[in-house]
Amino acid sequence: MSLKLRIRRLSVMVITALALSACSGTIPSNKEQKEEKKLANYEQLLRFAKMSESGGDMQMAKLRYSRAYKMRPKEVAPLAGIGRTSFAIGDFDVAAQAYNKLVHLKPNEGKARRDYGKSLIRIGKADIAVGQYEAALQINPKDFDAYNGLGVALNILGRHKDAENNYLNGLELAPDQLPLRNNLALSLALGGNYNEAIGILKQIIADRAATPTNRFNLALVYGLAGQDDNAAALSKRDLKASQIQNNLSLYKELRSLSSKERAARIFGIK
């Protein structure tokens, strides 16, 4: 056999061996291929869901997160997405269901507990929400957002003094947090301490970060205190005359309600 032929045969053997080596153990099974395709589809679907959410199309985002959840029901991202988008469109029951599943997946995740508590409040289950916020504070005793949420839940239950203590605890951690200061003032007003509430809200509206909502809340407390003239004067900056009259009618209606009923209305539950 010529040297040239031997070299050609040797080359063929080497190439064949390399080909067999490349194939051996690297071709995924049918099951593995399906899993890889499913993972790719899941990740793509999740990406599209996030794009829809960031673009403000919450309905489409919710649909895509729901489809992703069906593909991978033990993943956190789809459940959190369902919760966020459902809450944003006012589907609070679905949001609560999603966050309930999420806290079972991630029991030591404080934000999941807070989000679940917030959803529970919106479906009229403030008593259960209290437990979620307390659990969040066990996870992180410095979670001032949890103190704020717990305060709201307690206000709705008519426990205004307990609510105020929680707002104050949160303010010790984050003294500049306007939501905590605002809710403390509302809680004081619900408990009949109008002058103290008005003092806090006047300080808030003097802040550069103050919003029309903060001014609305001060007008609200004026209204609860029966100071309709002050409420109307303050509202002229942001509202038309017809809107001011509507608000004055609202304040009159709120004054006729019990403290718990007022709290539910003020915190947007009813």
CA distance 268 to 27: 58
Radius of gyration of the chain measured on its C-alpha atoms: 29
CB 115 within 8 A of CB 99: yes
CATH superfamily of 42-141: Tetratricopeptide repeat domain (1.25.40.10)
User: CATH topology of 42-141 equal to that of 158-270?
Assistant: yes
CA distance 22 to 163: 68
Give the architecture (CATH level 2) of 158-270. Answer: Alpha Horseshoe (1.25)
The closest of 261, 12, 2 to 155, measured between CA atoms, is: 261
Give the C-alpha separation, 227 to 220, whole Å. 10
Residue 152's closest CA among 140, 164, 143? 164
Amino acid letter, 163: A
Quote the CA–CA distance of 261 and 61 in Å, as a whole number. 34
Burial state string for 12-21 with b = 16 or more CB within 10 A and e = fewer than 16: eeeeeeeeee
Length of the chain: 270
* Per-residue pLDDT of the chain in tens (270 residues, 90 and over written 9): 554 544 455 444 444 443 433 444 455 566 545 555 555 789 999 999 999 999 999 999 999 999 999 999 999 999 999 999 999 999 999 999 999 999 999 999 999 999 999 999 999 999 999 999 999 999 999 999 999 999 999 999 999 999 999 999 999 999 999 999 999 999 999 999 999 999 999 999 998 878 899 999 999 999 999 999 999 999 999 999 999 999 999 999 999 999 889 999 998 765
Q: Where are the domains of the chain?
A: 42-141, 158-270
Instruction: Measure the CA–CA gap between 148 and 177, rounded to whole angstroms.
Output: 10
Under a CB-based contact definition with an 8 Å cutoff, are residues 224 and 156 in contact? Answer: no
